[in-house]
């Protein structure tokens, strides 16, 4: 069932084809530029053509392409599994753990975990939900269970809470809950409001501790719970309500960059 938010959404043509499970966005772009896609009976010549579901008619090699039903799944990602569809090395991905019908429906992971990490994964083919859950402006908290070499003392904890500099800019923890320190090993929970590539590992490295094990146990109001490693399930009713609440929240406008010409006087 499509939500009111999804119903009104307009897609770029390559994004629409990916959402329909036809191909990845990159492959869809190749199909479009190869002259294999039509929109409302006319040959599509650009992947950026805007398509409105249930209003525009899209065909690939003459065959009608339509949106698949909304799908959202909760998975316990094991270590040693990629979140991307394919990295060219033949390594196993989370999509190998799913029935083919879900993969063909254009499902994508929300908030990726790196190859060496495990834990909660949310997968969906709802583009708006994907964007709202991942975007930093939404401040949807992610909670990680961390085992690290090094003592999580007051100084290091404060450093992570105040923020450390990564190549993308400042990254900071929203909360740190130290659970156990034994010898030179610290176990703690760390909460973030956004997700950059290997962010927890790089943040910890900046304050002098090495992450040995990393597991995401919560994303917003979705919890990993007792779900076995490598298994997936459909969302519970309260989790579905959380997703709909995320979709109903007004979008935050990005602040405009100041115009250096505005307000200046000629001298």
Catalytic residues: 114
Residues 6+ apart with CB under 8 A from 250: none
Q: What are the beta bridge partners of residue 213?
A: 147
Instruction: Write out the two tokens for 235.
Output: 């969302």
Measured between alpha carbons, how far is 206 from 160 in angstroms, rounded to an integer? 9
Task: Break the chain down into helix, strand, coil percent, rounded to 5.
Answer: 25, 30, 45
Write the CA distances from 95 to 114, 115, 225, 232, 261, integer angstroms: 15, 14, 21, 11, 50
Strands 210-219, 118-124: pairing is parallel
CB atoms within 10 A of CB 256: 6
Query: Any idea how long the chain is?
Result: 267
Helix axes 154-162 and 199-206, enclosed angle (nearest 10): 130
């Amino acid at each position: 069932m499509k939500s009111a938010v999804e119903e009104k959404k307009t897609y770029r043509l390559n994004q629409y084809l990916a959402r329909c499970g036809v191909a990845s966005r990159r492959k869809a772009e190749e199909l479009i530029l190869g002259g294999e896609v039509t929109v409302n009976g006319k040959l599509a010549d650009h992947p950026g053509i805007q398509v409105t579901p249930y209003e525009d008619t899209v065909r690939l090699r003459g065959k009608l392409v339509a949106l698949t039903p909304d799908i959202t799944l909760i998975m316990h990602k094991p270590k040693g599994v990629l979140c991307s569809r394919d990295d060219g090395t033949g390594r196993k991905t989370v999509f190998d753990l799913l029935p083919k019908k879900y993969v063909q429906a254009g499902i994508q992971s929300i908030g990726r975990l790196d190859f060496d990490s495990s834990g909660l994964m949310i997968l969906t083919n709802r583009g708006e939900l994907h964007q709202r859950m991942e975007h930093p402006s939404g401040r949807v908290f992610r909670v990680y269970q961390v085992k690290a070499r090094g003592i999580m003392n007051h100084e290091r904890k404060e450093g992570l809470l105040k923020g450390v500099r990564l190549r993308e800019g400042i990254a900071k923890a929203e909360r740190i809950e130290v659970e156990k320190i034994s010898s030179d090993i610290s176990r703690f929970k760390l909460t973030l409001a956004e997700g950059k590539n290997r962010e927890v590992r790089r943040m910890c490295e900046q304050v002098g501790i090495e992450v040995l094990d990393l597991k995401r146990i919560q994303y917003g109001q979705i919890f990993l719970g007792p779900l076995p490693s490598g298994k997936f399930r459909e969302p519970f009713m309260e989790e579905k309500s959380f997703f709909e609440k995320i979709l109903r929240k007004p979008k935050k406008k990005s602040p405009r960059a100041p115009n250096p010409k505005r307000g200046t006087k000629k001298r």
